[in-house]
Amino acid sequence: MRRKNALSAIMAFACLVVTDAEAQFALWKHHGAAGTSLYGMRVRAAGDLDGDGSPDCIAVEPLLFGSSNPVVNAYSGKDGTTIHALSFPQGPNGLGLAIGAGADYTGDGVPDILLGSPGANAPPAIGLPSSPFGGVYIYSGKTGQFARARLGNGVIGFGTQIWCMPDVNSDGIADYAVLVGGPAAAGLASVQVLSGSDDALLTSVSALQAFDGFGLSFEVFDDFTGDGIPDFAMGAPYHQANGIFPGIIRFFSGASGAEYAPIVGVNDADVVGLAIASLGDSDGNSNVTVRPYTPVPSA
């Protein structure tokens, strides 16, 4: 699954820009409507939606507070043809701020499209269930039709981020994770791992500190606990320790949510955990290798 996702991501990017020794040129492009400047604020590799064997992609203009209706389009990676233009007469606030793609949650074998709507005090939506706590809306990648919603359950900011995951509860259906609250939110953000078959809560893990950036990064690992089930890591790059802010990467069992030993930065403002990349067992010692990414000032 991960390998497939990674390949999809690489191929979807390649569908937009081709590089050779001399030049780069666009294979195709789409613009937002005149006067709307946020189209393309979110773009994701979507897997093969139209069954032509080539990965496709999704571009989104989220519904922000007071803005026009959200725009969500799926394009053929091969030639840019519009596969789906999802229709939203009105959506909950923030719809499309988070998107997940690349896994099948409807059982038809075609990857689906998950749209987060974390906005609290969301207005009643026309044709969509809504919650003041936010929600995740699942659209069929095959038909472009609304399939179902998973609404927040008493926790503000449900759906700030969405990450599609491999199957972690061993029911044969891919699962997904949802960020509740955000990296800049007061209170403790959390991540809920949900069953992709019925949206039931499987595990939940919380930030250690408010405003610690928990959820700015998330990565699935093949399996570092040895139970054969994929695991995951969360970054909190503004984590405080010993009076400084070195950042942290925390590791969790995908099956149980049990926490494993973290990686904590050494120096103030190391921002360890700003991004996480699984390298697999790159050094051959049968353990997953983790390499924190620490940005440095540009010259």
Q: Give yes or no for residue 56 binding Ca ion (CB under 5 A).
A: yes
Cα 126 to Cα 12, 88, 119, 123: the distances in Å are 32, 8, 16, 9
Q: Give yes or no for residue 175 binding Ca ion (CB under 5 A).
A: yes
Q: Taking CB under 5 A as the criterion, which residues in 4-23 touch Ca ion?
A: none
Q: Give yes or no for residue 278 binding Ca ion (CB under 5 A).
A: no
Among 225, 250, 265, 276, indicate the residue that binds Ca ion (CB under 5 A). Answer: 225
Q: Give yes or no for residue 269 binding Ca ion (CB under 5 A).
A: no
Site stretch for Ca ion (CB under 5 A), options 25-33, 176-184, 222-230, 270-278:
222-230
Q: For Ca ion, which is the closer residue by CB, 278 or 294?
A: 278
Nearest distance from C-beta of residue 72 to Ca ion, angstroms: 16
Three-class secondary structure assignment of the chain? CHHHHHHHHHHHHHHHEEECCCCEEECCCCCCCCCCCCCCCEEEEEECCCCCCCCEEEEEECCCCCCCCCEEEEECCCCCCEEEEECCCCCCCCCCCEEEECCCCCCCCCCCEEEEECCCCCCCCCCCCCCCCEEEEEECCCCCCEEEEEECCCCCCEEEEEEEECCCCCCCCCEEEEEECCCCCCCCCEEEEECCCCCCEEEEEECCCCCCCCCCEEEEECCCCCCCCCEEEEEECCCCECCECCEEEEEECCCCCCEEEEEECCCCCCCECCCCCECCCCCCCCCCCECCCCCCCCC
Nearest distance from C-beta of residue 111 to Ca ion, angstroms: 6
Nearest distance from C-beta of residue 108 to Ca ion, angstroms: 4
Q: Give yes or no for residue 259 binding Ca ion (CB under 5 A).
A: no
Q: Give yes or no for residue 61 binding Ca ion (CB under 5 A).
A: no
Distance, CA of 168 to CA of 179 (rounded, Å):
17
Among 64, 80, 204, 223, indicate the residue that binds Ca ion (CB under 5 A). Answer: 223
Q: Give yes or no for residue 199 binding Ca ion (CB under 5 A).
A: no
Among 52, 120, 132, 268, indicate the residue that binds Ca ion (CB under 5 A). Answer: 52
In this structure, are residues 225 and 219 in contact, taking their beta carbons and an 8 Å threshold?
A: no
Binding marks (x or -) toward Ca ion, 90..109, rule CB under 5 A? --------------x-x-x-
Q: Give yes or no for residue 229 binding Ca ion (CB under 5 A).
A: yes
Site stretch for Ca ion (CB under 5 A), options 46-54, 117-125, 183-191, 273-281:
46-54
Nearest distance from C-beta of residue 232 to Ca ion, angstroms: 9
Q: Taking CB under 5 A as the criterion, which residues in 114-173 touch Ca ion?
A: 167, 169, 171, 173
Contact residues for Ca ion, defined by CB under 5 A: 48, 50, 52, 54, 56, 104, 106, 108, 110, 112, 167, 169, 171, 173, 175, 223, 225, 227, 229, 231
